[in-house]
Amino acid sequence: LGTGLKRGDILLMEGHTAVAIDSDDHRDTFPVMITNCAHSRIRSGPGTEYETLQIVTNGDILEAEGTTTDMDGFSWYRVQVDTLDMMGYTSSAYAMPLPQGKCTGDTWLRKEAGTKGKAVIVIPKGAKPYLTGRQTKVGIRVWYETVYGGHRGWASSLYVKK
């Protein structure tokens, strides 16, 4: 935030209590996927009373910087708003953080599942890509839908483990 706030500091936002997420400009991000709904809203603050900045749909993946809790005890992820150069909030009731897998050998992240899918980026051995939970079988091999390096695609279960 660059304001001297520390993680856990209490602050007031338009008459509502919020918790500071971080105090520096180099925060770790993690992907969250919209689930449990057809559409969800990214809001200007952590609560339903805040303005809608963007509508997202089931299966969309957003970059989150952390969580905060509103006055009613509901959790919200602080996420990047695609249509604007700013951050917003989406309810944790409609989003889940993606679990990480482990890459056991260099492998391609591909646009489509299977070795005929267009190669997008190499996932190096030892990397921990995020897994969406979707999988498909092509031939004898299972492929996991994977998020790595800002890209979303498919990686072989031969090299990416849950």
| Residue 100, beta-bridge partner list | 130
- SS3 (DSSP) at 92: helix
CA 142 to CA 71: how far, in whole Å? Answer: 44
- Whether 105 shows a pLDDT value over 90: the answer reads yes
Who has greater pLDDT, 7 or 23? 7
Which is more confidently placed, 135 or 1?
135
Spatial separation of the C-alpha atoms in residues 125 and 148, rounded to whole Å: 13
Q: How far apart are CA 2 and CA 25, in angstroms?
A: 6
Residues ≥6 apart with Cβ < 8 Å to 87: 65, 78, 79, 80, 81
Residue 2: both structure tokens together: 């660059």
Task: Decide if 49 contacts 13 (C-beta within 8 A).
Answer: no
More confident residue, 5 or 73: 73
Residue 71 near residue 17, CB atoms below 8 Å: yes
CA dihedral sign, ordered 161, 113, 132, 27: positive
Would the pLDDT of 23 be above 80? no
Residues forming beta bridges with residue 55, ordered by sequence position: 41
> How do residues 62-75 score in pLDDT, each as one tens digit?
999 999 998 889 99
What number is the average pLDDT over the span 155-160?
A: 97
